[in-house]
Amino acid sequence: MSSWRSQANICGTKGVVNVFVHVFCYRLKCLVRNKEQVFWTLLYPLLMATLFFFAFGHITLEYEQFSPIPVAVVESNAFRQDVTFQQVLNNLSQPGEKQLLELVVVPQAKAEELLASGDIDGIITVDETIRLTVSQLRQSQTDKLQSGLNQSILKAFLDEYAQNTMTVKRILAQNPAAQEQLIAQLNVKHSYTKQISYSDAEPNTMLNYFFSLIAMTCLYGAFWGLRNTTDVQADISDLGARRSVAPTHKLQTVVCEAAAALVVSFGEVLLLLVYLALPLRIDLGNQVGYILLTCFVGCLTGVAFGTYVGTFFRKSEGLKVAILIAVIMLLSFLSGLMYVNMRDIVARKLPFLSFVNPATLITDAFYSLYVYANHTRFFINIGLLSAIAVILCMASFVRLRREKYASL
Amino acid sequence: MIIQVQNLVKRYGDLLALDHFNFQVNDGEVFGLLGPNGSGKTTAINCILSLLKYDKGTIEVFGRPMAPDAYESKRNIGIVMQNVAVFMELRVEENIDYFCGLYVEDNKVRKQLVEEAIEFVGLGEFRKFYPKKLSGGLLRRLNIACGIAHKPKLLILDEPTVAVDPQSRNRILEGIRNLNQQGTTIVYTSHYMEEIEQLCSRIVIMDKGKTLATGTKEELKAMINAGETVSVELYVLRPEDLARIRQLPHVMGARYENSRLTVRYGGGKHNLIGLLDYLKSQELSFGQVYSEQPTLNDVFLEITGKHLRD
């Protein structure tokens, strides 16, 4: 072994960058090798995403997919003689993208049997008038939750047909010469309301669960922030004491390690996004840059929150972890993680809370990106979130800058 | 002068942890801080390292006032804490490399220093192990390796052998001796007087935050009257013989219990020979004979009236 003393004091002036890289890389290793924390901050959100997908994902699909409405027409002389109505029904039953009805013409008894068994959603009976018979809302044999939507469509269709028929008869009775013009007018649809799309996406309430889940995962960065502060404070841990004796500026160490925590937290959220977008095929919108910005600022807020809790409370690490879990779950609940309408309830009853709850801000940022083409609301959310992160960082810095302690 | 501590006062509320505590550490020596648990040894070390605020006094290290931003001084200090302070998520060699990297910038040099530190503490075959897989003794060695890898001029060891098996303890003490021979100044705190006696060239004995005595172990022992203690297995000893033994030169006291004669001397040389000569002259047959030199515990007992481990 070479002389112990001969190589002493070889370091000279340390390069700040070298130390930054050294501390940063080792901090990354420490964080990603912490299996327990990786489970809670990565695998747990992935499990929850899977759970949400199986719980809510197919409900979303049921709402989004439209299939022709099964309906029966009762065989009768009146129906056979009403050629116009027959033509209309035939047109609407033609296979293709625009098929509205799946039509069967059967006797009355058979039609009632089909309705009772849930094979059809309604019976159309033609006599002096055209009548619709539907069953009460029920769960069918296919176990699909029926909402009454199909029955409403049938009723709307028959009402419109009856109204148009009555109008045509009245006009022709008063002015037979208008027949040609009338036929032309009937083929033109007038709309007196204008649909304005704020984005390319369809509104989907169930997505809020996934937005809140992403928000919760961002805030789970707090666990990494807490771990950092535990290891850097001499009055909290022996590691903190040993590192405080080293010739490295404390603030430099804190910044390096916060950067490592941010990278780990952001990486975990990216994995969650990829999992949601690819295997689960959850549509999070197409504004990838803004989505990543939201996640980054969310993770920054999470790490800053953990750092603050780690510096503010001089309690055991276990208690601090419990505080973090409780607070993050509460914030996530208020943002709609467990009950999708909670965010709206809080916005109405306690609007101030919506502006200071980071989970709500992240969720709302995602929502506004998804729903609105305009980014005003998104940037308000990001601005508020950044302000919270800055306040937490500054408060933590005030506590962390202490270099001597009254007791260890 | 490597360390100079003058009139150091540290209070924890109403408790006076350090009461005008003084000591100096010279270049190249192994300096021992000896005192019972709670005597203020670790508090003194933490004040020297600028981890703790103190109420009064001055501390100089390498001739400069010690402060949290005294990075030049800190760069030449190594610390081995009382409790193991390593990263559980890093392997043995990674831990050593991490702490060495806080002091040494050059990667090649650092790599060499890490290898030397691993070899020095004998953790070569455990270099890929995580700390939780190491025994208590090996963990202590890792703790030491993390403190010495950057080859500090001043190494402070705060009770490094607590809860360590004898084999690891001997290895640690041998390593500290080697470090000192290579030029490192050592400050060693312990409540194990045997270790302090074995290692330290100068010692400060402290209790309740005060300096009780300072000097070499010979100087400390010379401060008290106690000399060697001789024990002899005797099957029969008449009271008149015990009385005569008490009259022998330098004898401070003698007692006979359970077939064992114990004689305490207050100095002098060749006391054992004198005692055995007397026993032979009286035709008293004896068995095993033991002779013990006075210890630092005797010094502590003499000064405070209590044992070090009370």
pLDDT at position A7, please? Answer: 43
Bridge-based pairing state of the strands B185-190 and B56-61: unpaired
Which among B45, B61, B89, B113 is the top mutation candidate for probing chain A, defined by the most A β-carbons within 10 Å of its own β-carbon? B89
In this structure, are residues A79 and A126 in contact, taking their beta carbons and an 8 Å threshold?
Answer: yes
Say if B109 is an interface residue toward chain A (CB within 8 Å). Answer: yes
Give me the residue label for tokens 């350090």. B18
CA distance B113 to B101: 10
Sheet holding B251-257, edge to edge: B251-257, B260-265, B229-234, B286-292
Residue A3 pLDDT level (bands cut at 50, 70, 90) = very low
Pick A239's closest partner by Cβ from B75, B87, B102: B87
pLDDT at position B147, please? Answer: 95
**CB–CB contact B184 A5 (8 Å):** yes
Pick B89's closest partner by Cβ from A15, A33, A243: A33
Q: Does residue A21 have a pLDDT over 90?
A: yes
> In this predicted model, which residue has the larger pLDDT, B177 or A171?
B177
Select the highest-mean-pLDDT range: A163-172, B93-102, B196-205. Answer: B93-102
Residue A138 pLDDT level (bands cut at 50, 70, 90) = very low
Question: Could you tell me how many CB contacts below 8 A there are between chain A and chain B?
Answer: 128
Q: Does residue A226 have a pLDDT over 70?
A: yes
> In this predicted model, which residue has the larger pLDDT, A372 or B17?
B17
Least reliable range by pLDDT among A135-144, A150-159, A174-183, A224-233:
A135-144
> In this predicted model, which residue has the larger pLDDT, B118 or A202?
B118
Q: What is the mean pLDDT of residues A55-61?
A: 64
Tokens coding B105? 């910038």
pLDDT at position A355, please? Answer: 92
Q: Does residue A10 have a pLDDT over 60?
A: no
> In this predicted model, which residue has the larger pLDDT, B118 or A406?
B118
Q: What is the mean pLDDT of residues B110-136?
A: 95
Say if B283 is an interface residue toward chain A (CB within 8 Å). Answer: no
CA distance A389 to A377: 19
pLDDT at position A386, please? Answer: 97
Q: Does residue A218 have a pLDDT over 80?
A: yes
Say if A242 is an interface residue toward chain B (CB within 8 Å). Answer: yes
Q: How far is B239 from chain A (nearest CA, A)?
A: 58
In this structure, are residues A29 and B173 in contact, taking their beta carbons and an 8 Å threshold?
Answer: no
Which B-chain residues 69-108 have CB contacts (< 8 A) with chain A?
Answer: 69, 71-72, 74-77, 79, 81, 83-87, 89-90, 94, 98-99, 101-106
Name the residue of chain B whose CA is nearest to A5's CA.
B183
Give me the helices (H) in A134-196, please. 149-174, 179-186
**Which chain B positions have a beta carbon within 8 Å of A2's beta carbon?**
116
Pick A4's closest partner by Cβ from B51, B74, B184: B184
pLDDT at position B162, please? Answer: 85
Residue A203 pLDDT level (bands cut at 50, 70, 90) = low
pLDDT at position A142, please? Answer: 42
In this structure, are residues A226 and A324 in contact, taking their beta carbons and an 8 Å threshold?
Answer: yes
In this structure, are residues A370 and A205 in contact, taking their beta carbons and an 8 Å threshold?
Answer: no
Q: What angle do CA A359, A364, A368 make, to 5 degrees?
A: 160
CA distance A140 to A144: 6
Q: How far is B259 from chain A (nearest CA, A)?
A: 51
Q: What is the mean pLDDT of residues A8-20?
A: 61
Percent of chain B past pLDDT 70, that is, above it, reads 99
> In this predicted model, which residue has the larger pLDDT, A2 or B35?
B35
Q: Which domains does chain A have, with CATH numbers?
A: 23-60+205-400 (no CATH), 68-175 (3.40.190)
- Long-range CB contacts for residues B91-94, cutoff 8 Å, separation at least 24: B91/B127, B91/B128, B91/B129, B91/B130, B92/B118, B92/B123, B92/B126, B92/B127, B92/B128, B92/B129, B92/B130, B92/B131, B92/B134, B92/B142, B92/B145, B93/B118, B93/B127, B93/B128, B94/A26, B94/A29
pLDDT at position A373, please? Answer: 80
**Which chain A positions have a beta carbon within 8 Å of B178's beta carbon?**
4
Sheet holding B202-207, edge to edge: B77-80, B154-158, B185-190, B30-34, B202-207, B210-215
Q: What is the mean pLDDT of residues A12-26?
A: 80
**CB–CB contact B12 A5 (8 Å):** no
**CB–CB contact B51 A243 (8 Å):** no
Q: Does residue A144 have a pLDDT over 50?
A: no
In angstroms, the first-to-last Cα distance of chain B is 34
Report pLDDT digits (tens) over B166-178.
888 888 899 999 9
Select the highest-mean-pLDDT range: A11-25, A80-94, A345-359, B216-230. Answer: A345-359
Say if A237 is an interface residue toward chain B (CB within 8 Å). Answer: yes
How large is the ipTM? Answer: 0.84
Q: What is the mean pLDDT of residues B70-75?
A: 93
Pick B109's closest partner by Cβ from A10, A243, A405: A10
Q: What is the mean pLDDT of residues A355-376?
A: 92
Name the residue of chain B whose CA is nearest to A11's CA.
B104
pLDDT at position A2, please? Answer: 44
> In this predicted model, which residue has the larger pLDDT, B271 or A49?
A49
Q: Does residue A312 have a pLDDT over 60?
A: yes
Name the residue of chain A whose CA is nearest to B94's CA.
A26
**CB–CB contact A5 B151 (8 Å):** yes
Residue A196 pLDDT level (bands cut at 50, 70, 90) = low
**CB–CB contact A26 B68 (8 Å):** no
Q: Does residue B35 have a pLDDT over 80?
A: yes
**CB–CB contact B116 A2 (8 Å):** yes
pLDDT at position A405, please? Answer: 80
Q: Does residue B40 have a pLDDT over 90?
A: yes
Say if A22 is an interface residue toward chain B (CB within 8 Å). Answer: yes
**CB–CB contact A237 B85 (8 Å):** yes
**Which chain A positions have a beta carbon within 8 Å of B72's beta carbon?**
247
| Number of other residues whose CB lies within 10 A of the CB of residue B131 | 19
Residue B110 pLDDT level (bands cut at 50, 70, 90) = very high
Say if B182 is an interface residue toward chain A (CB within 8 Å). Answer: yes
Per-position b or e across B212-230, b if 16+ CB within 10 A of its CB: bbbeebeebbeebebbbbb
Residue A60 pLDDT level (bands cut at 50, 70, 90) = low
Q: What is the mean pLDDT of residues B251-255?
A: 90
CA distance B57 to B9: 6
CA distance A147 to B128: 63
| Number of other residues whose CB lies within 10 A of the CB of residue A330 | 12
**Which chain B positions have a beta carbon within 8 Å of A250's beta carbon?**
68
CA distance A222 to A317: 13
Q: How far is B117 from chain A (nearest CA, A)?
A: 9
Name the residue of chain A whose CA is nearest to B71's CA.
A247
Residue A98 DSSP one-character state = T
Q: Does residue A143 have a pLDDT over 70?
A: no
pLDDT at position A273, please? Answer: 97
Least reliable range by pLDDT among A171-180, A193-202, B111-120, B262-271:
A193-202
**CB–CB contact A405 B51 (8 Å):** yes
pLDDT at position A139, please? Answer: 43
CA distance B271 to A375: 98
Q: What topology is assigned to B3-222 in CATH?
A: Rossmann fold (3.40.50)
Tokens coding B82? 């009382």
Q: Does residue B84 have a pLDDT over 80?
A: yes
Q: How far is A314 from chain B (nearest CA, A)?
A: 17
Give me the helices (H) in B182-281, please. 193-199, 217-222, 239-245, 271-281
For chain B, give the mean pLDDT.
Answer: 91
Least reliable range by pLDDT among A135-149, A380-394, B55-69:
A135-149
Which among A19, A248, A404, A405 is the top mutation candidate for probing chain B, defined by the most B β-carbons within 10 Å of its own β-carbon? A404
CATH of domain B229-293: 3.30.70.100
For chain A, give the mean pLDDT.
Answer: 85
Q: What is the mean pLDDT of residues A125-136?
A: 84
Tokens coding A184? 């032309």
pLDDT at position A329, please? Answer: 95
In this structure, are residues B146 and B96 in contact, taking their beta carbons and an 8 Å threshold?
Answer: yes
Domain ranges, ordered by start, for chain B: 3-222, 229-293
In this structure, are residues A280 and A46 in contact, taking their beta carbons and an 8 Å threshold?
Answer: no
Tokens coding A372? 């609105």
pLDDT at position A191, please? Answer: 65
**CB–CB contact A1 B50 (8 Å):** no
**CB–CB contact A241 B179 (8 Å):** no
Residue A216 pLDDT level (bands cut at 50, 70, 90) = very high
CA distance A305 to A218: 11
